[in-house]
Structure 1
Amino acid sequence: MNAKEVAKLTGISVRTLHHYDDIGLLCPKRNEENGYRKYSEEDMDRLQQILFFRECGFPLAKIQKMLTSSTFDREEAFELQKKYLMHEKQRIETMLDTLNKSMKLIKGEITMNIQEKFNGFDMNNDPYEEEARRLYGDEVIDKSKAHAASLNRAGESSVLQGLNELFTELAAIRDENTDSIITQKAMEKMYQYFNKSFGYEYTPQAFAGVGQLYITDARFTENIEQYGKGLSRFLAEAMKIYAERSAQ
């Protein structure tokens, strides 16, 4: 397959594939006739592994180090990635439920106790971490964990107020094209706010995943649509575009 075919199949951009080649992360052979990149099945397996590690929050330099290690085992990597993603799926679902309830709280629709306000924020219970350290070493894991920040619980009210203001601002531009400069600047603000406020460093891919939940989970769709009809779909598309551009 050529780069355009791979991009269409995987959903990542041709520019990202070229970048992976430039940094030595994924280097397919070239077609002798036209010089175009030609991706083999082995290249596609490596690309799959790269994307799984990206979903787990590892930066490209660390992924390259792991994949070129003499101790790298593809099956072990899959097992680790599965554990991480299952844990992350549960944690994000819990956090989104907390976010959903918090948005209702600020509108006066429900009450929440202190414990409920922080469900999903526990970043210290990572069941995959010990195995990850065994496979890839302390340095890789420590630098990846450094992305996580602690939520300032004393500022919980300002976080909720900030969310309300953020979604109000986003609703005001929901008729813009999702790939416009105005929209993507708003996505950058939203991405930075999420990472600053929730005690967790979202990868661009995780950020896009949250956007998909805005249209697949009726609870969040209903809540977000209160700010403006069509906002949930607008955000899902805009967040996906932001993630794709951030990976380039």
Structure 2
Amino acid sequence: MRTVKEVSRITGVSVRTLHYYDAIGLLKPTKVTEAGYRMYDDTALSRLQNILLFRELQFPLKEIKVILDSPSFSQEEAIAQQIKLLELQYKHIGELISFAREIQTKGVRTMNFEVFNTNEIEQYKEEVKAKWGHSKAYREYEQRASSQSEHNYDKFADEIMSLFTKLGALKQFPPTDKAVQEKVAVLQSYINENFYTCNNEILKELGEMYVCDERFKKNIDHFGGEGTAEFVRQAISVYCDK
């Protein structure tokens, strides 16, 4: 058995992220001691290894959870799929390196846009996801997304980042403040109306992701100011625990 700090040390995954994985049911500790310490056995570490491989392949956490929790999940088949995806990415990166060297040798006027095509990788990813199934929220998102235009995606991005900007402007108030909580309710309603059914459980998971996922954190802090992602996480936690 290993403590959460030991797992963090040997895997490079932060303690905060491991706590988040526990909170969303992605990686539960094998047991929790009377003192409240999370302990992980080899089975849990094996699952974490799968999580990290799928993360390396750019799978969202929700999809990873669906895959690993699928009754038909096969460790051997998953490894074979992961190897195939890594090989495709290795091939793609090799082609990009060769192209960059060609530009270096022949000059910047060299044109070849085929090397940027990742359709083969994306197609195989879709096959992997189809094999293990999608979460209900993900299926709902895909159904809505199929009817949306590229213009709408830009509009949604602008609008949701505007919500984070407004939340960032309230950082001088405590997360429990009425005005802050009203903005969280607006955020939840916006996700419900435009993406998928966002109940309090899903909203709370999103709040954690806004901090744990560096891409989200960077974007949210860019629009709302430094510390906005953490502030939004705290405000969401208050909202969902009411």
**With structure 1 as the length reference, what TM-score do the two structures score?**
0.49
Counterpart for residue 132 of structure 2: 136
What is the letter of the counterpart of residue 12 of structure 1?
V
What is the letter of the counterpart of residue 72 of structure 2?
T
Decide whether the 8 Å contact of 2:63 with 2:129 is kept in 1.
Answer: no
Decide whether the 8 Å contact of 2:4 with 2:15 is kept in 1.
Answer: yes
Counterpart for residue 60 of structure 2: 59
> Could you say which structure has the greater relative contact order, defined with CA pairs below 8 angstroms and 6 or more residues apart?
1
- Mark the CA change 1:111 to 1:32 in structure 2 (over 3 Å): closer, same or farther: closer
What is the letter of the counterpart of residue 88 of structure 2?
H
Counterpart for residue 83 of structure 1: 84
Q: After superposition, what is the alpha-carbon deviation per residue over 1:97-152, rounded to whole angstroms, capped at 9, x for unaligned?
A: 434554x37xxx7365423xx25211222373574255224787996xx9xxxxxx
Counterpart for residue 47 of structure 1: 48
| Match runs of 1:16-55 below 5 Å | 16-55=17-56
Q: Please say if 1:110 is aligned against 2:107.
A: yes
Secondary structure of the 1:38 match is strand
Secondary structure of the 1:128 match is helix
Unaligned runs of 5+ in 2: 146-211, 218-242
- Mark the CA change 1:17 to 1:34 in structure 2 (over 3 Å): closer, same or farther: same
Higher percent of residues as helix: 2
- Mark the CA change 1:132 to 1:47 in structure 2 (over 3 Å): closer, same or farther: same
What is the letter of the counterpart of residue 110 of structure 1?
G
- Mark the CA change 1:246 to 1:15 in structure 2 (over 3 Å): closer, same or farther: farther
Structure 2: how far apart are the matches of 1:245 and 1:57? 13
- Mark the CA change 1:6 to 1:138 in structure 2 (over 3 Å): closer, same or farther: closer
- Mark the CA change 1:63 to 1:25 in structure 2 (over 3 Å): closer, same or farther: same
State the Cα distance separating 1:33 from its structure 2 match.
4.1
Counterpart for residue 72 of structure 2: 71
- Mark the CA change 1:45 to 1:138 in structure 2 (over 3 Å): closer, same or farther: closer
Decide whether the 8 Å contact of 1:80 with 1:131 is kept in 2.
Answer: no
Decide whether the 8 Å contact of 2:27 with 2:47 is kept in 1.
Answer: yes
Decide whether the 8 Å contact of 1:13 with 1:244 is kept in 2.
Answer: no
Kindly tell me the number of residue pairs found equivalent between the two proteins: 144
Decide whether the 8 Å contact of 1:98 with 1:119 is kept in 2.
Answer: no
Decide whether the 8 Å contact of 2:29 with 2:38 is kept in 1.
Answer: yes
Counterpart for residue 179 of structure 2: none
Decide whether the 8 Å contact of 1:12 with 1:244 is kept in 2.
Answer: no
Structure 2: how far apart are the matches of 1:245 and 1:92? 23
Secondary structure of the 1:120 match is helix
Decide whether the 8 Å contact of 1:84 with 1:128 is kept in 2.
Answer: yes
**With structure 2 as the length reference, what TM-score do the two structures score?**
0.50
Q: Based on CA coordinates, which of the two structures has the bigger radius of gyration?
A: 2
Decide whether the 8 Å contact of 2:67 with 2:129 is kept in 1.
Answer: no
Structure 2: how far apart are the matches of 1:83 and 1:36? 37
Decide whether the 8 Å contact of 1:53 with 1:63 is kept in 2.
Answer: yes
Unaligned runs of 5+ in 1: 147-242
